[in-house]
Amino acid sequence: MFVEKFSNNGIDYLRLVESHRYTNSKGVRTVRKKSIYNIGPLKKFDDGLPNYVQRLKESFKNSSPLIPELLPYCSSQPIPHKYSLDIFEGDPDCVGHPKLFSHCLIERILEELGLISFFRRYKQLTHYEFDLLGFFRLLIYGRILNPSSKIQTVSQNNDYYLPVIKNLYEYNIYDTLDFLFDYKKSLINRINKSLIDSFNRSTNIVYYDVTNFYFEIDHPDNDFEDEDGNLIKGIRKMGVCKEERKLPIVQMGLFMDEQGVPISIETFPGNTLDHLTVTEALKNSVEPLNMKRFIFVGDRGMYRGNNTFHLINTNNGYIISKSIEKTNKEEKKWIYEEEGYIGNSAFKHKSRIIKRTVKDNDGKMRTIVEKVIVYWSEKFYKKQMAENKTFLNFIDRLEQNPENFRITKSQSKSIRKFLKKECMNDITGEILDSSKIKVMIDKDKINRYKRSFGYYQIVTSELDMEDTRVIEVYHGLTRIEDQFEIMKGVLDSRPLRVRTSEHIEAHLLTCMIALIVVRIIQNKIVEYKGRSKDKNWESGLSAERIQKALNKWSVELLSNDLYRFNNIDDEDLRLILDAFQIKIPSKLFRPGELRALKASIKITT
């Protein structure tokens, strides 16, 4: 076998051929060539140095091909190559300048998600003059590898093996955010289709939760009217911050599939209550994807009649927790009665099917049928007891010695809901006479509160689903918090450095795409380790360790246009490379070989 160059429509290609001698019909001995492997266009591999084709032929002959994909076709063990490096004292080459190579893996994932072709196509349609795709790459690479401000992300252009953008005007990064906002729905639709086609995405179960991001600004955004008199609400508003900051916040609703891979996001003003986001988020984000019937899973903040009716009315289902504290007396009586429970001293459950009258989004009364499941878990009971230990001990000490007891501001806030109504100032919520605090405490409220420890209530439209299965599916929702932690921590998503509602939403969209890439890497590692991708949202490797490992994957230019890989013996980096079957032999690389290595990375198999 040997490498051959040939032309097709004026373009030079490379292929691997094998020749056979045979006698033709005229009795003449001649040679027939058979194509074994089509390598591809020459310009894809040419490293720009003289005599590339000749050097490629010789490298294949010596069983050390410049193109790694040709190695399996070599007939013998490679002849070790001896490198000659011309470096003299005082040369700039004496100082190393490692450049990131890990973005090549990220780009291959973006290609598999259909995003590279998406941006190329839309750039032609929109006639953007700047490198739209290049700026998108910088946004995603930077968010995964080295999260920073938008301008600082642009300055990372030269941190990569080859600069992502050649002619750079840094403020085009904000034009790219405008594009992301304008084409958000098309982008999410493209990602979803690729995940279904190439990554076997299942959306039978859709998890949803809401978090928020605070802004270090003095005042929340004002509402205003546009030219047509429509009210435009400011997005950075005062609300209940998850991180307990008294600052304006933005609410973000996040949908995820069964493997913990994001489906879509929606943003809302910071003063929007969680349950008010559900229907709008479904209409804007999930329903346009035209998915098959799914079961929506949400926490108790999402349970409202209009939300459950909307899900049923759109031929979908739901599994949502419901607050026991806000349940009516008749239902509470049923919850605490021992009759009907199945299980043991560590875990018990029971259920019943009821009809409930609810209001739809138009205010009309509707009747729905749902199953109510309650369970008591010893593990959950111990957890709640541990969480309330300080408060319960405080109550005990207060009862024993109320005269000499001082109540702090935080303690006052904690016991407020357990006081008799006549002991509270209805306007300020302050305790009227702290010296009589023992008399003020309503012991019945304390006992009812303690009685609820260990109990949990879930409502579902899935009447035929086993109770234990409903509980198992619902518990998957707790893992969405892990994804929020990745976004806020490793990906540093908190959008402190963007201001407009459009740029905030575009920024969070890039964070969502970055999280998708991280989850694909994690799922690939899980698959490589031989574990089930469908269970427990296993990570294989934490996002933080993935980020650190990818930052170690770099190349360094030596003399004579030769490159050396760095840190590929790092344990975490080696795990990532092995999971994607990326083989990096112990050798120095020419530019063409680096391009070939990048092209050889397989994301799906």
pLDDT at 317 over 80: yes
- Domain boundary among the residues 451, 469, 494 is at 451
Instruction: Give SS3 for 230.
Output: coil
Residue 16 lies in a domain: yes
pLDDT at 29 over 80: no
**Which runs of E-coded beta strand occur in 308-440?**
317-321, 342-343, 347-359, 365-377
- Tokens in use for 41? 């266009």
Report DSSP letters for 540-570, one per residue: SS-HHHHHHHHHH-EEEE-STT-EEEESTT-
507: part of which helix (H) or strand (E)?
helix 501-528
pLDDT at 22 over 70: no
The pLDDT score that the predictor gives to residue 388 is 79
Contact 190, 180 (CB under 8 A): no
Which residues, including other chains, have CB under 8 Å from residue 548's CB and lie 6 or more apart? 572
Contact 290, 425 (CB under 8 A): no
Range from 60-69, 296-305, 411-420 carrying the lowest mean pLDDT:
411-420
The pLDDT score that the predictor gives to residue 440 is 56
Average pLDDT, integer, range 556-575: 91
The pLDDT score that the predictor gives to residue 245 is 65
Long-range contacts of residues 438-442, Cβ cutoff 8 Å, at least 24 apart:
438/398, 438/399, 438/402, 441/395, 441/398, 441/399, 441/415, 442/418
Q: What's the DSSP call for residue 435?
A: G
- Domain boundary among the residues 403, 424, 451 is at 451
Torsion region of 343: left, alpha or beta (phi above 0 gives left; psi -120 to 50 gives alpha): left
Q: How many domains does the chain have?
A: 2
Residue 542 lies in a domain: no
- Domain boundary among the residues 429, 451, 473 is at 451
Residue 198 lies in a domain: no
The residue behind tokens 């006992």 is: 447
Residue 331 lies in a domain: no
Residue 589 lies in a domain: no
Residue 423 lies in a domain: yes
pLDDT at 76 over 70: no
The pLDDT score that the predictor gives to residue 520 is 95
The pLDDT score that the predictor gives to residue 422 is 47
Query: What's the chain's average pLDDT?
Result: 84
- Show the domain range for 396: 389-451
The pLDDT score that the predictor gives to residue 432 is 46
Average pLDDT, integer, range 361-388: 90
Residue 395 lies in a domain: yes
The pLDDT score that the predictor gives to residue 50 is 84
Q: Which residue has the higher pLDDT, 286 or 75?
A: 286
For residue 445, CA distances in Å to 358, 381, 418, 428, 452 come to 29, 18, 6, 21, 11
Q: What percent of the chain has pLDDT over 70?
A: 83
Helix-strand-coil split of the chain, %, nearest 5: 45, 20, 35
Residue 296 lies in a domain: no
Tell me the whole-structure pTM to 2 decimals.
Answer: 0.78
Q: Distance between CA 160 and CA 129 in Å, rounded?
A: 23
The pLDDT score that the predictor gives to residue 467 is 95
Average pLDDT, integer, range 43-49: 86
For residue 435, CA distances in Å to 216, 398, 402, 406, 439 come to 40, 11, 8, 9, 9
Q: Distance between CA 404 and CA 418 in Å, rounded?
A: 20
Report DSSP letters for 193-227, one per residue: HHHHHHH----SEEEEEEEEEE---SSPPPPEE-T
The pLDDT score that the predictor gives to residue 540 is 82
Nearest of 37, 33, 41 to residue 16 by alpha carbon: 37
